[in-house]
Chains A and B, each alone.
Chain A
Amino acid sequence: MNVIELQRVSVRYRTHGAKGLKEFVIRGLRGQRQHEWFASLSEIDLTIRAGESVGIIGNNGAGKSTLLRVAAGIIQPSEGVAISRGAITPLIELGTGFEGELTGHENIFFNGALLGKTRGEILSRIDEIVSFAALDGFIDEPLRTYSTGMVARLAISIATAIDTETVLLDEILAVGDASFREKCHARMRSFIERGLTVVLVSHDVDVIEQLCVRAIWLEHGRIVADGPAREVIARYQRARATSPV
């Protein structure tokens, strides 16, 4: 069972385009080129099977986040086909859509709704979310009164309580103090043990080596290596040692 299949997927962005309609029309009348293209991913072929734990590594701008977004169905490829099966939850940024004026409780509902959940699904997990976040009575206060750490804990708590089959994470384990990070890693491990598919983007190769069986190394929008995490990470680190970025 393949949960994610990318077939010759390319993603291009337009750059230097006209900012306004006026400029667009003027450029058109003058026969100037409207924009240039920037390729973020080029002809990626990739299959991720149910229950796999995959880490994605690579330098800044290698296309890691774009790969995650295409896999999650958030962005459409410019060319190629992206297929996903089952419930996929992208956790690209923590606390997406958090609103300072709303209480922690209300934000749980809004954030859950953004992740595609219904009221009933959120209600059934709310006690667990509140207790994992350890907010001690702040849950009915507006979010703007929270400390940064409290906001982060609430966000992680919602994100990891969501019922899903595939989780795509982008660098979000790097927040909070060491003990909270350890709690998050424990949750990730329990995801993997329960048979969920986990795809993780991180700069921290140690995290990937601990959590993932397979690793993919991206460079300039192309896959350089794909295989057992230990081997791919070793190759990546050798390459970085010989040509530091």
Chain B
Amino acid sequence: MPDFRSVPVRRNVGGRPLGLAQELRDLVAHRFLLHQLVWRDLTVRYRRSYLGFLWTMMHPLLMMLIFVVVFSRAFRFPTPHYETYFLSEYIAWMFFSQTTVNAMVSVAWNGPLMKRVFVPKTIFPISSTLAGLVNFSLSLLVLVVIMAIVGAPIHAAILFLPVSLAILGIFTLGASLALCALAVYFVDVREMYQAALPAVFYLTPVVYPIDIVPEIFRPVIKLNPMIYLLEIVRDPIYYGILPSPLTLTISIVLSLGMLTIGWIVYRHLAPRFHSQF
């Protein structure tokens, strides 16, 4: 006879949004599933290719080659070690844009699973973000190798990067939660988002130095939240300094604000996901 003395009780009240405490308890109970999802994300795609895991690196490397050649040779920005300048933020941008898109794909793809077994509803955006962070870290390692090869100075400030990754990771998770919840209800959200991404990318000084933007447009361009979130990654790598207290504060506020918004949207929409799959 099963032991019922300390049984967990689950109350599912009609029409109520997800509760934070219950969701966190469910995530802890499903930690092995989270681990498996991240691992699957990182390996299954490459299982049948000979180069395997290396493909994770190939895309940023190829893009880097194109951008570095086009922008440092063709446009001739007066930026020393342009490749480091560009790549430090480009890698961070790739993390944000790919993770948010992957999270939407993951929820859509795994939606039918959510009708067959009980899983914590936030587990798919969380696993996409964690897998994205692993790829991000690996790309940063590749960048350090490139920097060593081309002779760009490597500073002790790069030890600050885990903090930058955490802040950007929280922002990305928040954005993923909001986007995933909307994308479940509206099939065109992902397409619209993917069309908007390049626009945001070129409004962020990733490929160009901010000095080339005319003085009068700079206050407008600085309304773009991505500037601060990418700067905290570039500062330690390229400039060898810690982000300024102002930049750091803005990015922390942005990431916590995004996570709050994302959670609020998600907790209200997730209980009715099943009617969409």
Q: B10, A92: Cβ atoms under 8 Å?
A: no
Of residues 1 through 36 on chain B, the ones whose CB sits less than 8 Å from some CB of chain A are 1-2, 4, 7-16, 29-33, 35-36
User: A70 contacts which chain B residues (CB < 8 A)?
Assistant: 12
What CA separation (Å) do A135 and B188 show in the bound complex?
A: 44
* Identity of the chain A residue whose Cβ is nearest the Cβ of B110 in the assembled complex: A97
Check if B51 is an interface residue, CB within 8 A of chain A: no
Check if A30 is an interface residue, CB within 8 A of chain B: no
Q: A50, B10: Cβ atoms under 8 Å?
A: no
How far apart are B18's CB and chain A's nearest CB, in angstroms? 9
Q: A83, B271: Cβ atoms under 8 Å?
A: no
Q: A99, B44: Cβ atoms under 8 Å?
A: yes
Check if B222 is an interface residue, CB within 8 A of chain A: no
How far apart are A10's CB and chain B's nearest CB, in angstroms? 7
Q: B14, A76: Cβ atoms under 8 Å?
A: yes
User: B31 contacts which chain A residues (CB < 8 A)?
Assistant: 118
What CA separation (Å) do A78 and B266 show in the bound complex?
A: 17
Which chain A residues have a beta carbon within 8 Å of chain B's beta carbons?
1, 9-10, 13-14, 17-22, 24, 50-51, 69-70, 72-88, 90, 92-93, 96-97, 99, 101-102, 109-110, 113-119, 122, 165, 195-196
Q: A74, B275: Cβ atoms under 8 Å?
A: no
User: A75 contacts which chain B residues (CB < 8 A)?
Assistant: 115, 274
Q: A73, B118: Cβ atoms under 8 Å?
A: yes
Q: A102, B44: Cβ atoms under 8 Å?
A: yes
Q: Mark B131-149, 1 if CB is under 8 A from A, else 0.
A: 0000000000000000000
Check if B76 is an interface residue, CB within 8 A of chain A: no
Query: Among the listed A21, A76, A122, which residue makes an inter-chain contact with B186, where contact means beta carbons less than 8 Å apart?
Result: A21
User: A113 contacts which chain B residues (CB < 8 A)?
Assistant: 30, 32-33, 35-36
Q: A85, B4: Cβ atoms under 8 Å?
A: yes
User: A96 contacts which chain B residues (CB < 8 A)?
Assistant: 113, 116-117
Known: A50-B2, A73-B12. A109 touches B36 (CB 8 A): yes
Q: B15, A78: Cβ atoms under 8 Å?
A: yes
Q: A14-B272, A19-B188, A113-B30 are in contact. List 15 more A-B contacts (CB 8 A).
A: A1-B4, A10-B14, A17-B185, A21-B192, A73-B10, A73-B12, A74-B117, A74-B274, A76-B14, A86-B7, A90-B118, A97-B117, A114-B113, A116-B118, A118-B31
Which chain B residues have a beta carbon within 8 Å of chain A's beta carbons?
1-2, 4, 7-16, 29-33, 35-36, 40, 44, 47-48, 113-119, 182, 185-189, 192, 271-272, 274-275
Q: B15, A22: Cβ atoms under 8 Å?
A: no
Q: Which 7 A-B pairs rank lowest in CB-CB distance, beginning with the nearest?
A: A20-B188, A113-B33, A21-B186, A77-B14, A79-B14, A86-B7, A82-B12
What are 19 A-B contacts defined by CB distance under 8 Å? A17-B185, A18-B186, A19-B186, A21-B192, A69-B115, A74-B274, A75-B115, A75-B274, A77-B12, A77-B14, A79-B15, A83-B9, A83-B11, A85-B8, A93-B116, A101-B44, A109-B36, A119-B32, A165-B7
User: A196 contacts which chain B residues (CB < 8 A)?
Assistant: 2
Known: A19-B186, A20-B188, A97-B113. A76 touches B10 (CB 8 A): no
* Identity of the chain B residue whose Cβ is nearest the Cβ of A6 in the assembled complex: B12
Q: B29, A116: Cβ atoms under 8 Å?
A: yes
How far apart are A64's CB and chain B's nearest CB, in angstroms? 14
User: B29 contacts which chain A residues (CB < 8 A)?
Assistant: 116
User: B113 contacts which chain A residues (CB < 8 A)?
Assistant: 96-97, 114
How far apart are B67's CB and chain A's nearest CB, in angstroms? 32
User: B44 contacts which chain A residues (CB < 8 A)?
Assistant: 99, 101-102
Which of A17, A74, A82, A102: most chain B CB closer than 10 A? A74
Q: A21, B117: Cβ atoms under 8 Å?
A: no
User: A82 contacts which chain B residues (CB < 8 A)?
Assistant: 11-12
Q: B114, A74: Cβ atoms under 8 Å?
A: yes
User: A165 contacts which chain B residues (CB < 8 A)?
Assistant: 2, 4, 7
* Identity of the chain B residue whose Cβ is nearest the Cβ of A75 in the assembled complex: B274
Q: A90, B116: Cβ atoms under 8 Å?
A: yes
What CA separation (Å) do A69 and B272 show in the bound complex?
A: 13
What CA separation (Å) do A202 and B42 show in the bound complex?
A: 39
What CA separation (Å) do A85 and B33 show in the bound complex?
A: 22
User: B30 contacts which chain A residues (CB < 8 A)?
Assistant: 113, 116
User: A86 contacts which chain B residues (CB < 8 A)?
Assistant: 2, 4, 7-8
How far apart are A80's CB and chain B's nearest CB, in angstroms? 5
What CA separation (Å) do A113 and B119 show in the bound complex?
A: 10
User: B271 contacts which chain A residues (CB < 8 A)?
Assistant: 76
* Identity of the chain B residue whose Cβ is nearest the Cβ of A196 in the assembled complex: B2
